[in-house]
Amino acid sequence: MGVKGFLTSAVAAGIKYQDRLDLGLIYSTNPAVTAGAFTTNQVKAAPVVIDMERLKHEGRAQAVLVNSGCANACTGKQGMADALQSSSLVAKELDIPENMVQLSSTGVIGAQLNMEAITAAIPKLVAGLGPDNFEAVAQAIMTTDTVKKTVRKTVMIGDTEVTLMGMAKGAGMIMPNMATMLSFVLTDVQIGFPELQKALLAGVERTFNRITVDGDTSTNDMVLVMASGEAKNDWIDEDSKAELELFQDTLESVLKELALMIVADGEGASKCITIRVCGAREDDEAEQVARTVANSNLVKTAFFGEDANWGRIIAAMGRSGVKFNPDRVDIAFNDVVIVRNGLAVGKEAEDEASKVLKERNFNVCIDLKEGNGCEEVYTCDFSIDYVKINADYRS
Amino acid sequence: MGVKGFLTSAVAAGIKYQDRLDLGLIYSTNPAVTAGAFTTNQVKAAPVVIDMERLKHEGRAQAVLVNSGCANACTGKQGMADALQSSSLVAKELDIPENMVQLSSTGVIGAQLNMEAITAAIPKLVAGLGPDNFEAVAQAIMTTDTVKKTVRKTVMIGDTEVTLMGMAKGAGMIMPNMATMLSFVLTDVQIGFPELQKALLAGVERTFNRITVDGDTSTNDMVLVMASGEAKNDWIDEDSKAELELFQDTLESVLKELALMIVADGEGASKCITIRVCGAREDDEAEQVARTVANSNLVKTAFFGEDANWGRIIAAMGRSGVKFNPDRVDIAFNDVVIVRNGLAVGKEAEDEASKVLKERNFNVCIDLKEGNGCEEVYTCDFSIDYVKINADYRS
């Protein structure tokens, strides 16, 4: 099942490995209103640089060419030339303007694109375009991912059914800061570009920007939302507040599901944990505390060991840079309070908490009792397999 | 071999484990000029709070009681009362004022001190004081450390030989920010308190504050330097610049050796790596870039895998918050340049670099070519054993 107005395709181009889907194409039969969010890492891959420039002018795109196996980052003039040549080939084959093509790459940094493989594959890719290949594209963008990440949702805008389908990849180098990894959302909604861009940025801020696997931010992160308009709903613009809010909520739920799939599939991860901080003076401070805890290797290895080691949590909180009174802090695992006013509640509570830690998903709830600021950050545990995966990744 | 003016002692008090040295005492026969540097984590252990207060007034101490097995952090009023009682017992047994006792604890956060064990052990500890137990104390403060960390140096101040002996412990929760872990340096130098404190802070800044094992800062970090004056050198004060500089250099070399021992013994570490950043606009910016690289899990797991994966290095640099032009960056492993002006030098260079990565100690040299700012940070690799150690630590 696809989204009205879009065709997709994926092939095994042999970019890094043989016989593995590694090149995908998304094609909108008409120029789609397209919003993007890109990595804030100042070392940006060639495709990211090109996409940001192209979206700046029109907020429209008609195709996305995406490959795994090579990030085309830190590849200099050659990398830029290769990226431009790829988009030129796609544009020619689809008979659309070159600046309507968005590019996206993921894989090893510093290696040049295998242009021979890509050049040979593009005609096949275009020939294979069809309405039902969304899952194949989602598979083609996987690297260390162990599962394909896709979401489909529908929502009634007025009396018109609007569809959103999203895909994402990402398992390592994940601590987004503005956008993360690769994610593409297709929708047939009819919407203005400023509204779509605003909805995307707001959604990303509360979803992809709230997850962390390892505290590292990639050079290639991007999220694109493309709207074909084929649902023919009444046009959503700045005056249609209720419809915009409805669409935005649905988009955010798509982004959040994809973001949580990334955490759950974090490299080597066996658990998916929500760090919820309440009672901060400001939301920003709550986020900062949550993020510091969510990125602490000591906290994450304790989760892997299923050890309710709250001492490591409070030590991480203490170096977060946010002021609070340690003697007022409460900490709970789900609804089991193990620290009350900075002190251990006792052995019984810790035993209860240990049961919570055996679950695959749980919450750590921290109350600072300083104000009303609240935020959540989503993280995974830190396992032996994370180290194995990343010690071996290039070999 | 000890240091003139100091006696030391260690016993197996049974604080957490049986038959393992876990309680140490350092005693200066006269009040020693004592400088301290303490954790910047706002969650501070009870002994840290007491020590900071006591050193504020006099800059003198006569005893240090130090235990492993329990951090006495996040232990509330009970923890504070226990710490005060420990120092009262030591003071009584040694017949010195209570505020001349410094306290230090390391181990699990959130557990209360085993006061029964400590109370029973203090008389034995005092009875065992002798000139040659420095190594035994260094052993008593170990937790996940696999080796004892001690250094001894002498320096001629004028025509007087001055001795410095230092010990340190620390293997995890190591990213000092002002001071780190536990370290005690004894010296017989005759020196004023302001000079000693200044020398310590300057030395700590360039040594313990430049190491990282896992990016976490402990609640119990402290470094104490105690000077007995028994060397009877001409008093070092603000007017004796040459002697002060000489002493400071020697102190710094003691601190640096201890700091590097901690990195080399980092939990699960198999390598000790110096991240040297040059060509930054300011020293601070060089440090920030070096620190971000030194703390990146992806970089550290690549080191463990002996993979010259510079893409991860440049990705970490890019999220450091420091502005630089990625197209001008050079990166070398020891003297093997593998990135020149942001681009891979080639396969041959990477093969050479791979040889460097097989060594136990090597440097990563990064040149930003933006200015003259230079700094170093010392880190270790990130291994499977780190995860094993920290998933199991409390059990």
Does the residue A219 lie in any domain?
A: yes
Residue B386 placed within a domain: yes
Parallel, antiparallel, or unpaired for β B222-227 and B182-187?
parallel
Same domain, B174 and B302: no
Which of A240, A264, A288 delimits the end of a domain?
A264
Whether residue A49 lies within 8 A of chain B, CB to CB, comes out as no
Taking phi first (over 0 means left), then psi (-120 to 50 degrees means alpha), and beta for anything else, what does residue A268 get?
A: left
On whether both A276 and A259 belong to a single domain, the answer is: no
Which residues does residue A186 pair with via DSSP β-bridges, in sequence order?
A165, A226
A394 chain-B contacts, CB cut-off 8 A: 302, 305, 307, 309
**Domain shared by A252 and A292, yes or no:** no
pLDDT class of B393 with cuts at 50, 70, 90: low
pLDDT of residue A395 exceeding 50, the answer is no
Q: Are strands A6-11 and A23-38 parallel, antiparallel or unpaired?
A: antiparallel
CATH code, domain with A372: 3.10.20.340
pLDDT digits (tens, 9 = 90+) for A222-233: 778 888 889 899
- Rounded mean pLDDT of A352-378? 93
One domain, residues B57 and B148: yes
Q: Cβ–Cβ contacts within 10 Å for residue A127, how many?
A: 11
> Coil, helix or strand for B65?
strand
Whether A231 maps to a domain, the answer reads yes
Q: Helix B283-295 vs helix B310-318: angle between axes, to the nearest 10 degrees?
A: 130
Rounding to the nearest 10 degrees, give the CA dihedral for residues A246, A251, A255, A256: 10
Mean pLDDT for chain A overall: 88
- Please answer whether residues B12 and B24 qualify as being in contact, where contact means their C-beta atoms are separated by less than 8 angstroms: no
Same domain, yes or no, for A72 and A160? yes
Tokens of B267: 């939990």
- Of A255, A152, A249, give the one whose Cα is nearest residue A210: A255
Query: Which pLDDT score, from 0 to 100, does residue A172 have?
Result: 62
Task: Assess if residue B1 is contained within a domain.
Answer: no
* Cα B164 to Cα B6, B137, B151, B178, B229, distances in angstroms: 11, 16, 8, 21, 12
- pLDDT digits 0-9 by tens, B81-105: 999 999 999 999 999 999 999 999 9
A71 contacts on B by Cβ (under 8 Å) = 311
- Statement to judge: residues B335 and B384 lie in one domain: yes
What residues 147-176 of chain B have any CB closer than 8 A to a CB of chain A?
172-173
Domain residues for the domain of B201 are: 6-264
Instruction: Tell me the pLDDT band of B110, cut-offs 50, 70 and 90.
Output: confident
CA distance B268 to B216: 15
Whether residue B295 sits in one domain with residue B348: yes
Q: Calculate the alpha carbon distances from A277 to A296, A369, A373, B194 in Å.
A: 15, 10, 8, 42
Q: Is the CB of residue B17 less than 8 Å away from at least one CB of chain A?
A: no
Model pLDDT, residue B211? 74
Count of structural domains, chain A? 2
Which residue among B41, B297, B339 sits closest to A215, beta carbon to beta carbon? B297
Q: Does A1 map to a domain?
A: no
Q: What is the DSSP letter of B130?
A: B
- Residues constituting chain B: 395
Task: Based on the fold, state whether residues A52 and A177 are members of the same structural domain.
Answer: yes
B388 touching A (Cβ < 8 Å): yes
- Domain boundary pick from A264, A285, A306: A264
Q: What is the mean pLDDT of chain B?
A: 88
Summarize pLDDT for A173-202 with one digit per residue, the tens.
555 443 446 778 889 888 888 888 888 888
Q: How does residue B326 score in pLDDT terms, banded at 50, 70 and 90? A: confident
B124 and B217 inside one domain: yes
Chosen domain end from A264, A296, A325: A264
Decide if A202 is inside a domain.
Answer: yes
Q: In chain B, whose CA is at the least distance from the CA of A305? A: B391
Q: What is the pLDDT of residue B108?
A: 81
Identified catalytic residue from A106, A150, A180, A207: A180
Cβ of A110 within 8 Å of Cβ of B339? The answer is: yes
What's the CATH number where A135 sits?
3.60.70.12
Residue B389 has pLDDT above 80, yes or no: no
Token pair of A316, please?
A: 């991480």
Pick B304 or A108 by higher pLDDT: B304
Which tokens belong to A158?
């007025």
Contacts of B324 (CB under 8 A, 6+ apart): A42, B280, B289, B317, B368, B370
ipTM: 0.71
Do A298 and B214 count as a contact with CB atoms less than 8 A apart?
yes
pLDDT tens-digit series, residues B174-201: 554 434 467 788 898 888 888 888 888 8
CA neighbor of A16 nearest in space, from A61, A72, A81: A72
Residue A172 identity: G
Residues B276, B258, single domain; the answer is: no
Write the CA distances from A6 to A30, A124, A186, integer angstroms: 9, 18, 8
Determine, yes or no, domain membership for A15.
Answer: yes
Lowest mean pLDDT among A26-40, B219-233, B342-356: B219-233
| Contact flag A327-B76 (C-beta cutoff 8 Å) | yes
Domain identity same for B188 and B159: yes
* pLDDT greater than 60 at residue A134: yes
Picking from A316, A319, A388, the nearest residue to B384 by CB comes out as: A388
Phi and psi (nearest 5°) for B275? -100, 110
- A309-327 average pLDDT score: 88
Q: Check CB contact of A194 with chain B, cutoff 8 Å.
A: no
Pair (A253, A292) in one structural domain = no
CA atoms of A107 and A109, how far apart (whole Å): 6
Q: Are B82 and B46 in contact (CB under 8 A)?
A: yes
- C-alpha A280/C-alpha A141 separation (Å) is 39
**Cβ separation of B318 and A41 shorter than 8 Å?**
yes
Query: CB neighbours of A297 closer than 8 A, spacing ≥ 6?
Result: A382, B214, B215, B216, B297, B386, B390
Q: How far apart are CA B278 and CA B368, in angstroms?
A: 6
Domain membership of residue A347 (yes or no) is: yes
Between B220 and A367, the more confident residue is A367
